[in-house]
Amino acid sequence: MTDVTDLNDKKRAHPPGADAGAVMLRGGSVVDGSGAPAYVADVLIEHGRIAAIGPVLAVPAGAHVLDVGGLAVCPGFIDVHTHDDNIVLLAPEMRPKISQGVTTVVVGNCGISLAPLLPAAPVPPPLNLLGGSDGFRYGELAAYADAVDAARPAVNVAALVGHTSLRVAHVADLLRKATPAELAAMERSLALAMAQGAIGMSSGVFYGPAAAADIDEVAALASVAAAGGGVYATHIRDEFSAILASMREAMDVAQSARVPLILSHHKCAGPHNWGRTTETLALIDHAARDQPIGLDVYPYVAGSTVLRADLVDGVIEILVTWSEPYPELAGRSLATIAADWRCSQQEACERLQPGGACYFQMDEDDVQRVLRHPRSMIGSDGLPHDRHPHPRLWGTFPRVLGRYCRELKLFGLETAVHKMTGMSAERFGLRARGLVRVGYHADLVVFDPATVADRATFAAPSEISAGIEHVYVNGVPSYRAGGWQGRRSGRFLRHGG
Ligand SMILES: [Zn+2]
């Protein structure tokens, strides 16, 4: 666990609407998020916005001057793929994210969103990835948005509406596709959520509660997201041998709904599939000629989700991240648990249910190929409720900057930052964020390009990254290396607002 002293965030949090005062970031290397070359400049923060950028700015009376010479100044990182729907309310200090320089999280991915859903019964997996059934108490997105603003998390929150959540709310039998009446009810619910500020829809037909949905059902809903100006993000049906067909299904949905497509956590899973990102990325390049398409990726060879017997192949390493009946076994490998119990890994998997795991199902060359692709954005896919989480929750963004940019030189710093900021804001329609520009919201990160690095590992997954020096959210100093700033100023970001 982290060794950073708790400064009691709640006591130190500023009341809503408090103005943090002007700050001059003096002499940093501005990596502006657009992918353009870095340049040395002063950046003035005033009233929550970037007020001026220039070679030597005059310091307004009362402004705090921070010398950031030798450090990079860039837009706050946008974590485009999260399952933070509930944790922004339960633990609004958002330490795993703010300590990486993340200033905005996109929630509601993989078909799973906390809102709009008031379940009549305990939610089925994978909805339990959001921390159990108790959190599902928002029948409309507007109520969730109000809850976010009231909790005032350290980071901004933009929300997708999950197709699986809509199904759990409106489809009587999850093992079949929606009837026309059920589909109409889902369409009404999604249209209302779009009007209340959702940035799009996500689906996860990989998972049981949504697997019976066909292209027509998903496309009908994706058209509603499109009509509201949103995007369609998807965890495709199969990331293993049927990956190309599954990608085509997603592309067909988006094409027929006329909606921008985002392929979530792109990967080729399973040893039999390793190396095939040459094919999948070629398919994306081909499709991109006819439709708007993007993808996100996390910088690790292991995935993580709920425990699933169909992912236990006896070949890949599997690390248990949580188990309801055996909480003490979180952090141990499924193989050693099975050996202790003198049973098969399949049987151990069943006995540990419900639970979650990391699956070492990818090849490093594939991960690097996806990271390098010009359309890939960075999204952590972190699971904040897991007892022993995948280290991507705490380390994703510094890992891209440290390991993949500085050490392995997959791309320059400007490109790395663009994949975490400007490209992300543009694809997801986040207005006036993702760039260092005058008039933009002052979501900013100051980091040391020479030392930035992830520290979280699979053995010790909750470690704070190195090299992230200062983080500002809506102009408010929200994190400082070596100690928590303890001031929270995140907001719910409504589509187009
Ligand atoms: Zn997913």
Tokens of 491: 């907001």
- Which residues is 376 bridged to in the sheet? 295
Q: Characterize the bridge pairing of strands 156-162 and 102-107.
A: parallel
Report the SS3 class of residue 463: coil
Which string of DSSP letters, residue by residue, matches 2-37? --PPP--HHHHPPPTT-----EEEEEEEE--SSSPP
Dist. CA 422 → ligand 1 center (Å): 23
Dist. CA 110 → ligand 1 center (Å): 4
pLDDT of the residue at 132? 86
Dist. CA 68 → ligand 1 center (Å): 38
pLDDT of the residue at 53? 98
Dist. CA 265 → ligand 1 center (Å): 7
Dist. CA 148 → ligand 1 center (Å): 23
User: 309-347: buried (b, 16+ CB within 10 Å) or exposed (e) per residue?
Assistant: eebbeeebebbbbbbeebeebbbebbbebbeeeeeebee
pLDDT of the residue at 482? 80
Give residues whose Cβ lies within 5 Å of ion ligand 1: 110, 235
Dist. CA 445 → ligand 1 center (Å): 27
Q: What is the pTM of this model?
A: 0.95
pLDDT of the residue at 21? 87
User: 240-257: buried (b, 16+ CB within 10 Å) or exposed (e) per residue?
Assistant: beebeebbebbbbbbbeb
Dist. CA 386 → ligand 1 center (Å): 15
Dist. CA 63 → ligand 1 center (Å): 44
Cα–Cα distances (Å) from 199 to 202, 243, 252, 473, 480, in that order, read: 10, 26, 20, 20, 30
pLDDT of the residue at 476? 96
Dist. CA 247 → ligand 1 center (Å): 14
Dist. CA 112 → ligand 1 center (Å): 9
Could you tell me if 100 and 466 are in contact, meaning their C-beta atoms sit under 8 angstroms apart?
Answer: no
Closest to 108 in 3D by CA, of 492, 364, 395: 492
List the strands of the sheet with 102-107, edge to edge.
Answer: 77-79, 102-107, 156-162, 200-203, 231-234, 261-263, 293-297, 376-378
pLDDT of the residue at 496? 77
**Parts of the chain with a pLDDT under 70:** 1-19, 484-486
Which string of DSSP letters, residue by residue, matches 109-149? GGG--SSSB--SSPPPTTGGGGTSGGG--BSSHHHHHHHHH
Which residue ranges form the domains of the chain, and what is each CATH number? 3-75+440-480 (2.30.40.10), 77-428 (3.20.20.140)
List the strands of the sheet with 318-323, edge to edge.
Answer: 303-306, 355-359, 318-323
Angle, nearest 10°, between helix axes 277-287 and 364-372?
20
The alpha carbon dihedral of 13, 392, 417, 160 has a sign of negative
Dist. CA 491 → ligand 1 center (Å): 24
